[in-house]
Amino acid sequence: MKAKLFAVLIALALCTSIPAIAEEVLLLPADLTVIEEEAFAGGESLAKVVVPNGTTEIGARAFADSSITEIVLPVSLTKISEDAFEGCGSVTLFVHKNSYAHSWAAEHGYNTEFSDDYAYTLSADGRATLTAYLGCDTEIVIPQSITGHPVAELGERLFEANDAITHVTLHDGVTAIHDAAFMNCTSLETIDLSSGLISIGNKAFKNCSALKAITIPDSITRIGDFVFEGCSNLNTLFANAGSSGSIQISKRYLSFIDPSCPDFLLRCSEQSELIIDKYIGTADTVQIPASIGTAKVTTLGSNAFRSLSSLTAVTIPEGVDSIGSYCFDECSALNSINFPSSLVNIGYAAFQGCVSLPEVHLPEGLLFIAEYAFNFCDALEEVYIPGSVKAIGEHTFSACRQLTSVTVSEGVQSLGDFAFLDCRALEQIVLPDSLTSFDAGVFNDCVSLRSVQLGANTENIGDLMFKGCTNLTEIAIPASITCIGGSAFEGCSSLTAFAIPDGVDTINPETFFGCVSLAEITVPDSITRIGGSAFEGCSSLTDITIPAGVEFMDINIFKDCPDLTVHVYKDSYAHTYCQSNYLTINYDVIA
């Protein structure tokens, strides 16, 4: 919708403080596109008017019979009514060469002067403050001087809502950028600030959504509020030594360098606490500061130390409560790190690929360990998980191939999918009574695992949970178990005996597939279904009794069990299954 200027609004504006380039000068609003008919007709207090770039039309008798003597017309104008300045006496039109306004003024016989690209005011010492931009360039170089006066300041709303400009360069004589000078310049990508810049006003770059990086010179003594609010693509703010002031940023936080800690890119949180956004130093041993100035460091950000292959040791101070995703990912030389008691969260893949890290002692009070947090930590030998952690994410310790000792404390309630997949050196584990739930493949391919003690309240054994645990010989199954997942013990070639607890109603497909040493199996009366290939390849199994209450048996249950005798009850489903199965099954009927 076109922005329209009505006489009643102008009358109101004239009763308030108006930005000016000299006495009795009116700067019209930056978003104005149409000056309506008779908007200023008969205005007796007008002398000089600046029409903003972006205005396209001046309506009938817009300034008729007014006291206006000078008006600055932008290059954006495409229509001026013939009687727009009727009765205005000796009004002079400031126009750009070869513009529509230039042609119109010549055609209608008005006095004209060629306009600079800027309107301005002068201070008592003769320095200019630019107050309006009248040009149409996309790349702006602020002039050293204008009509012989040095340009010292960029005025309020100077380029506001100019969506054409993409690059701006300031000369070293510019000392101040006033409030909202570049606000809503949505195409502005870069700005080179002057080395003499002292002050940046409130909202100066608000909603400059294309701006990606900015360097604040060391001459700065004041940065206003909400300067970069809404700069949705601005990722990095470089603040050099000597800069000071408070930056308020909404929604999007920016990286900056504090002179006292030049090795870190920092960000401020909503709580005015500090986030280590990136380590940019070169040291092999890093001590993270507990605070910088009066602000506390509470978070190590995502990717902050990622792929620093020479990093060997990190000291994390008390007060840090979160380690972000991929924070130390692929830090292949890292062999020493402490976890403060304040730590609450470890993010996704935070230590993935830290192949030199030997031990992890997590603090009491830690609440969250995200997926893949210690995945592929090849040197990790010892892990302590406190009871404050209620759930371990998927693949958290997978492929930790030197891991021999795992302590899971009382309080932990679930282990995620493949949490300890391929931990080839793990030989035994005792799990707490609080641990009630296992997802799929928790100990899949832990080839050295010999002994497992499940907690007394365990309710399920997940799919693939012990698949490929070729040395597993002993597992204590509590009576609380109600479900054993498919392929749960597939390939456990050292398992010799197993008693399925009462309360389990299904033997899922391939549960004991390939358990070549399994010689004893107890099937309780609670079982009603047996899935396909449940005992396939159990070549040492000689006897199994199928309860009379079994209602369904799938194919290949006893395939490749050459010495097996299946004991079935007369006229039961199992009896019929053995009689009609396409495989020859040795069976014995219980009367």
Encode 58-90: b = buried (16+ Cβ within 10 Å), e = exposed. Answer: bbebbbbbbbbebbbbbbbbeebbebbbeebee
pLDDT given for residue 219 in this prediction: 85
pLDDT given for residue 151 in this prediction: 94
Residue 255: pLDDT band (50, 70, 90) is low
The three-state secondary structure class of 304 is coil
Q: 204: which 2 tokens?
A: 């100066």
pLDDT at 586 over 60: yes
Higher pLDDT, 358 or 133: 358
pLDDT given for residue 38 in this prediction: 94
pLDDT in tens, 394-441: 999 999 999 999 999 999 999 999 999 999 999 999 999 999 989 999
CA separation for the pair 397, 575 (Å, rounded)? 46
CA distances from 251 to 162, 186, 243, 302 (A): 23, 17, 23, 17
Best-predicted range by mean pLDDT (41-50, 209-218, 235-244, 495-504)? 495-504
pLDDT given for residue 246 in this prediction: 41
Distance, CA of 18 to chain centre: 43
Q: What is the mean pLDDT of residues 562-568?
A: 97
Higher pLDDT, 251 or 149: 149
pLDDT given for residue 72 in this prediction: 85
Residue 551: pLDDT band (50, 70, 90) is very high
pLDDT at 174 over 70: yes
Q: Which amino acid is at 436?
A: T
507 in Cβ contact with 515 (< 8 Å): no
The CA-to-CA distance between both ends of the chain, in Å, stands at: 91
Beta strand 118-122 with 128-133 is: antiparallel
Domain boundaries, the chain: 4-115, 117-256
- Short-list 346, 461, 453, 341, CA closest to 407: 453
pLDDT given for residue 115 in this prediction: 65
CA separation for the pair 208, 223 (Å, rounded)? 16
pLDDT in tens, 290-312: 998 888 999 999 999 999 999 99
pLDDT in tens, 82-99: 999 999 988 999 888 788
Q: How many CB atoms lie within 10 A of CB 25?
A: 20
Q: What is the mean pLDDT of residues 106-117?
A: 84
pLDDT at 261 over 50: yes
pLDDT given for residue 76 in this prediction: 86
Q: Which CATH class is domain 4-115?
A: alpha beta
pLDDT given for residue 124 in this prediction: 84
CA separation for the pair 85, 102 (Å, rounded)? 15
62-66, 266-270, 327-331, 554-558: least confidently modelled range = 266-270
Residue 502: pLDDT band (50, 70, 90) is very high
Residue 227: pLDDT band (50, 70, 90) is confident
Beta strand 145-146 with 149-154 is: antiparallel
Mean pLDDT over each residue of the chain, to the nearest integer? 89
pLDDT at 14 over 50: no
pLDDT in tens, 446-479: 999 999 999 999 999 999 999 999 999 989 899 9
CA separation for the pair 300, 327 (Å, rounded)? 7
CA distances from 483 to 463, 500, 503, 573 (A): 10, 10, 8, 22
59-68, 180-189, 229-238, 443-452: least confidently modelled range = 229-238
CA separation for the pair 486, 531 (Å, rounded)? 8
Percentage of the chain exceeding pLDDT 70: 92
The three-state (H, E, C) secondary structure of 512-527, written as one string: CCCCCCCCEEECCCCC
188 in Cβ contact with 182 (< 8 Å): yes
pLDDT at 18 over 70: no
Check for a shared fold between 4-115 and 117-256: yes
The second-level CATH assignment, the architecture, of 117-256 is Alpha-Beta Horseshoe (3.80)
Q: What angle do CA 275, 321, 351 make, to 5 degrees?
A: 85
Residue 8: pLDDT band (50, 70, 90) is very low
pLDDT given for residue 56 in this prediction: 94
